[in-house]
Amino acid sequence: MTKSEIEELAARRVAADEERITGARRTNVSLGRAWWSFWRHPSPWLLGSLLLVSTVGRVVVGGGAWWELLVPVGLVLLLPIIEWVVHVGILHWRPRQVGPLTVDPLLSRKHRAHHADPRAIPLVFVPWQVELWLLPAYVAIAWLAMPTTSSMLTLLVAVSAIMSGYEWTHYLLHSDYRPRSRWYRAVWRNHRLHHYKSEHYWFTVTTAGTADRLFGTYPDPATVPTSPTVRSLHAREGL
C-alpha cells in the first residue's frame, strides 16, 4: 500500500469515527466567522488583556538587552515539548486517591469532558477559573525569573502571545473551518486522530509530528485501532 493510499484510508477511518461519535453536526464556516466566534469566550479576552498590558508596558519601558530576543525564540522552540508534557501529564491525569482526598484538577476534569464531546466549543478553551490564577502566576514567575523589568515584560509578551496562539489554533481545530494550508491540514489531521482514533497518540496541538515523534506517540494511523476509550478517558480503570 502506498503512502497516499494509507493517508486516504486513515482519513476515511477518522471521518467514519467522527461521524459515529458526534453525528452529522459539521458544516463549513469562513475563517472570518470563526474569528468572530472565537471572541465570544472568556479565555481570548483574558489572554488578550495580559498581552495588551504587557506589550504597552514593554514599549513604555523601552531599552532592553539583545538577549531578550532569545526569550520568544526559545519559547517557540520549546512549545511542542511543553504542549506534549502538559497534555500527557495534566490534561490526561488519572484521578488519584491521596488518603481521604481525590486529586483531580479542574483542567483534567474539563479535558475529559472535552474528549466526551469534542464539538462542545466552550470545553475547547482553558477554563476561565484556571486562568484567574494562572495569569497572575505568569506575572509572578516572570518577575522572579527575569533580571530586569524589560526582560520580565518581554517574557510576559511572549507567553501571552504564545498562549493566545495556542487557544486560537485549538479553537480552530474544533470549529467548522476547513483546513487549507499544508501546515494547518497536518495539524488538523493529527488532532482529529487524537480525538476520534486514539487518545494515546498525537498529543501536540500547534504542530504536527514534532514532540510526538520525539516521545514515540506518532504512529502510522493505519496501524492504530480505534480506541474504545477515546470519548471516556481512563474508562478501563473504572474512572
DSSP 181-229: SHHHHHHHHHHHHHHHT-TTS---SSSSSSHHHHHT----GGGPPPPTT
Reference 221, options 3, 2, 10; nearest CA is 10
pLDDT at 234: 82
Q: List the chain residues with pLDDT less than 70.
A: 1-27, 236-239
| pLDDT of amino acid 103 | 94
pLDDT of residue 28: 77
Output the CA torsion sign for 82, 87, 91, 95. negative
pLDDT 10s digits, 67-111: 999 999 999 999 999 999 999 999 999 999 998 899 999 999 999
Instruction: Give the model's pLDDT for residue 16.
Output: 67
pTM greater than 0.95 (yes/no)? no
Residue 4: what pLDDT?
62
Pairing of strands 101-103, 96-98: antiparallel
**Apex 166 CA angle, 171 and 35, nearest 5:** 40
Whether 11 contacts 224, CB under 8 Å: no
From the centroid of its chain, how far is CA 177? 17
The string of DSSP letters for 143-183 reads HHH-SSHHHHHHHHHHHHHHHHHHHHHHHHHHSSBPP-SHH
Contact 54/157 with Cβ under 8 angstroms?
Answer: yes
The conformation of residue 29, written as its DSSP 8-state character, comes to: B
Largest CA distance in the chain: 60
The rounded distance, in Å, linking the Cα atoms of 39 and 184 is 21
Grid cell in block for residue 156: 510576559
Give me the pLDDT at residue 227, please: 93
Read off φ and ψ for residue 126, nearest 5 degrees: -60, 130
Instruction: Supply 153's cell numbers.
Output: 515584560
Q: How many CB atoms are located within 10 Å of the residue 40 CB?
A: 10
